[in-house]
Amino acid sequence: MKVLVAVKRVVDYNVKVRVKADNSGVDLANVKMSMNPFCEIAVEEAVRLKEKGVASEIVVVTIGPNTAQEQLRTALALGADRAILVESADELNSLAVAKLLKAVVDKEQPQLVILGKQAIDSDNNQTGQMLGALTGYAQGTFASKVEVAGDKVNVTREIDGGLQTVALNLPAIVTTDLRLNEPRYASLPNIMKAKKKPLDVVTPDALGVSTASTVKTLKVEAPAARQAGIKVKSVAELVEKLKNEAKVI
Amino acid sequence: MAILVVAEHTNAALAAATLNTVAAAQKIGGDVHVLVAGQSVGAVAEAAAKIAGVSKVLVADNGAYANLLPENVAPLIAELGKGYSHVLAPATTNGKNYLPRVAALLDVDQISEIIAVESADTFKRPIYAGNAIATVQSSAAVKVITVRSTGFDAVAAEGGSAAIEAVATVSDAGKSAFVGEELAKSDRPELTAAKIVVSGGRGMGNGDNFKHLYALADKLGAAVGASRAAVDAGFVPNDMQVGQTGKIVAPQLYIAVGISGAIQHLAGMKDSKVIVAINKDEEAPIFQVADYGLVADLFEAVPELEKLV
């Protein structure tokens, strides 16, 4: 079966971001960008399904600026067969992204769509679920285990109290949680080979999708800084401070 | 203008996060209605009717809603939601699962995990793992929002007397089925609601050593949490994880033991009132956010702390 994986180019997770002085957003100039960590897990899961003989083709898609081709090449080096870039210079909201992905799903007709559970920049945790609503497919969010069995996929999900397993009819949508797998690294020969794999570029207009949004960001601020704390010398001093100064125990 | 709050519950009991979500709804202003969807949820509906400030409780009691499968509950909430100015749900794993599906069915953007209400259409939410706070404005006809419970003080669970009304609509998409669940058993307070949280990281060394934290937690009446490193190493189950990808907590006191303090962990606990760090590495980033830091070997400090509190 065909698997579609959606990936996003985001600021690298190790970067400590800074808010711009004019409060218009976060300063992303000259900051290291990478594939969103949850998307790496999504790519890895698709590649493992292919290695097990469950998946026959892996198509990786991203929506973003032209530079997002780098993340598509990374996914191709990890084992995806071909890539699609829906090029948009604007920062799009999850609903617009979901609508664009729906257009790609309509064209590609995958049996399984795998996304990360959230992007570490917007922290929205929406796109997979929204794509579920637009396609009418069942969704297995926050997956820590995925097993395709016939015309169904069993997804074990990480929920607040523990784990839950659901059975979904295919085609279905899965969003990955951190514990689904350990993503591999791309080897140098595979990085070279990935340069020759097909990468199509399309625009939202060509897909006939409007990316208008009902939400706008008014400003972005740095969070309130915590007061500098003190170092105590002993456990006794710590207990004394907690009891008499902070009065929390 | 009326606001629909989707209740979080276990089919048998109403979850505390619902009370924080009703608090957010009251800040927006307007009549607050609560939807209880599930199976055999009579007791939950009665509990919801007693929440202070709730004027109506809608009950959708049907096998199709038993485990809040999003394919079944999202169409129900979207249909009901058309009659409201706002649809709110707590940002629990359930709320995060079904609400974006509701938003897309209503063809509106969703605003995730708000921590403050500025006005009926303007909200604050953290982005970039809590390293920036965005103020966002929505022009949507129905504003679909998840609420971070630590951002709002819970309303009183008693004192209201709302009317209970049954919802007849049944939507069963027939595309998904509940197979089973494995819930972690714990007698300690729930992590996201606890007044005190004691968390362990990679420095704990192994799962067995968490017994020191359990002993301390039991003495303090605290919940026990963990960093991702401790979960990935298999010391404790994943539902104990505090952080950007785990649970967000804001207790009165957070004691971080053997936790370095990576950005992703801080995202889950830096709104705690008082933070204590116990770590033998005095350069650990956790000390930059800790009100009280103790540079010490946790295997000596924690048992001593347990004795003294």
| pLDDT, tens digit (0-9, with 9 covering 90-100), for A29-84 | 999 999 999 999 999 999 999 999 999 999 999 999 999 999 999 999 999 999 99
Distance (Å, rounded) from C-alpha B47 to C-alpha B57? 10
* Per-residue pLDDT at B248 exceeds 90: yes
* Per-residue pLDDT at B178 exceeds 90: yes
**What's the gap in Å between the CA of A112 and the closest CA on chain B?**
14
B152 contact A CB<8A: no
Tell me what the mean pLDDT of segment B157-163 comes to: 95
Comparing CB atoms, the residue among A138, A216, A242 nearest residue B176 is: A138
A134 contact B CB<8A: yes
Which positions in chain A touch B301 (Cβ < 8 Å)? 235
Which positions in chain A touch B128 (Cβ < 8 Å)? 11, 17, 26, 120-121, 123
- pLDDT score at B205: 97
Instruction: Decide if B67 contacts B9 (C-beta within 8 A).
Output: no
Amino acid at B230: A
**Interchain pair A167, B74: CB under 8 A:** no
Structure-token match 């708000």, residue found: B114
Amino acid at B295: V
Residues within 8 A of B (CB atoms), A 185-224 only: 213-223
Burial grade of B28 (CB within 10 A; 0-12, 13-18, 19 or more): buried
User: What is the bridge-based pairing of β-strands B132-138 and B56-61?
Assistant: unpaired
Which positions in chain A touch B69 (Cβ < 8 Å)? 166
Distance (Å, rounded) from C-alpha B255 to C-alpha B251? 10
Question: Whose CA is closest to B228, among B217, B242, B248?
Answer: B242
Residue in chain A lying closest to B176 (CA): A168
Which positions in chain A touch B113 (Cβ < 8 Å)? 123
Residue in chain B lying closest to A157 (CA): B181
Tell me what the mean pLDDT of segment A239-249 comes to: 92
**Interchain pair B137, A218: CB under 8 A:** yes
- How far, in Å, are A128, B99, B216, B225, B227 from residue B307 at the CA level? 49, 46, 8, 21, 25
**What's the gap in Å between the CA of B219 and the closest CA on chain A?**
10
- pLDDT score at B103: 98
Question: Could you tell me which residues come within 8 angstroms of residue A168 by beta carbon, excluding any fewer than 6 positions away?
Answer: A138, A139, A140, A152, A153, A154, A155, B175, B176
Sheet holding B223-226, edge to edge: A230-232, B292-295, B274-279, B253-257, B196-200, B223-226
- How far, in Å, are A36, B16, B239, B272, B300 from residue A39 at the CA level? 5, 32, 21, 30, 41
- pLDDT score at B11: 84
For the stretch B42-97, pLDDT in tens is 999 999 999 999 999 999 999 999 999 999 999 999 999 999 999 999 999 999 99
- Average pLDDT over all residues of chain B: 96
**Interchain pair B70, A242: CB under 8 A:** no
Q: DSSP secondary-structure letter at A104? A: H
Question: Could you tell me which residues come within 8 angstroms of residue B215 by beta carbon, excluding any fewer than 6 positions away?
Answer: B303, B306
Handedness of CA B124, B129, B132, B136 (dihedral sign): negative
* Per-residue pLDDT at B1 exceeds 90: no
Instruction: Decide if B134 contacts A219 (C-beta within 8 A).
Output: yes
For the stretch A221-242, pLDDT in tens is 999 888 889 999 999 999 999 9
Which positions in chain B touch A123 (Cβ < 8 Å)? 112-113, 126-129, 244
A160 contact B CB<8A: yes
**What's the gap in Å between the CA of B59 and the closest CA on chain A?**
23
- pLDDT score at B146: 98
CA angle B277, B131, B108 (to 5 degrees): 130
- pLDDT score at A51: 98
Residue in chain A lying closest to B182 (CA): A163
- How far, in Å, are A161, B144, B146 from residue B113 at the CA level? 19, 11, 5
**Interchain pair A123, B274: CB under 8 A:** no
- pLDDT score at B186: 84
- pLDDT score at A249: 85
**What's the gap in Å between the CA of A68 and the closest CA on chain B?**
19
How much helix, strand and coil, in percent to the nearest 5, is found in chain A?
30, 30, 40
Percent of chain B at pLDDT exceeding 70: 100
Helix (H, G, I), strand (E, B) or coil at B303: helix
- Give the distance from CA B275 to its chain's centroid: 20
| DSSP string of B194-257, one letter each residue | -SEEEEE-GGG-SGGGHHHHHHHHHHHT-EEEE-HHHHHTTSS-GGGBBSTTSB----SEEEEE
For the stretch A174-202, pLDDT in tens is 999 999 999 999 999 999 999 999 999 99
Helix (H, G, I), strand (E, B) or coil at B246: coil
**What's the gap in Å between the CA of B53 and the closest CA on chain A?**
27
Distance (Å, rounded) from C-alpha B23 to C-alpha B147? 10
- Average pLDDT over all residues of chain A: 96
Please report which confidence band the pLDDT of residue B171 belongs to, taking 50, 70 and 90 as the band edges: confident
For the stretch A141-180, pLDDT in tens is 999 999 999 999 999 999 998 999 999 999 999 999 999 9
Helix (H, G, I), strand (E, B) or coil at A246: coil
pTM, two decimal places: 0.95
**What's the gap in Å between the CA of B259 and the closest CA on chain A?**
16
Residue in chain A lying closest to B142 (CA): A214
- Cβ neighbours around B12 below 10 Å, total: 10
Tell me what the mean pLDDT of segment B191-201 comes to: 95
**Interchain pair A235, B173: CB under 8 A:** no
Helices (H), A109-234: 127-135, 188-194
Tell me what the mean pLDDT of segment B243-255 comes to: 95
**Interchain pair B94, A160: CB under 8 A:** yes
- pLDDT score at B184: 86
- pLDDT score at B170: 84
Which positions in chain A touch B290 (Cβ < 8 Å)? 229
- pLDDT score at A45: 98
Tokens of A198: 């097909």
B102 contact A CB<8A: yes
Residues within 8 A of B (CB atoms), A 15-44 only: 16-17, 19, 26
Question: Could you tell me which residues come within 8 angstroms of residue A150 by beta carbon, excluding any fewer than 6 positions away?
Answer: none
Q: Is the peptide bond before B251 cis (omega within 30 degrees of 0)?
A: no
Tokens of A171: 């085609």
Percent of chain A at pLDDT exceeding 70: 100
Amino acid at B121: D
B43 contact A CB<8A: no
Structure-token match 């399904």, residue found: A49
**Interchain pair B138, A215: CB under 8 A:** yes
Structure-token match 């079944």, residue found: B72
How many C-alpha atoms does B5 have within 13 Å on its Cβ side? 35
A11 contact B CB<8A: yes
- pLDDT score at A214: 94
Question: Could you tell me which residues come within 8 angstroms of residue A202 by beta carbon, excluding any fewer than 6 positions away?
Answer: A84, A85, A86, A87
**Interchain pair B132, A220: CB under 8 A:** yes
Structure-token match 């949004």, residue found: A213
Q: Largest Cα–Cα distance in chain A?
A: 68
**Interchain pair B111, A215: CB under 8 A:** yes
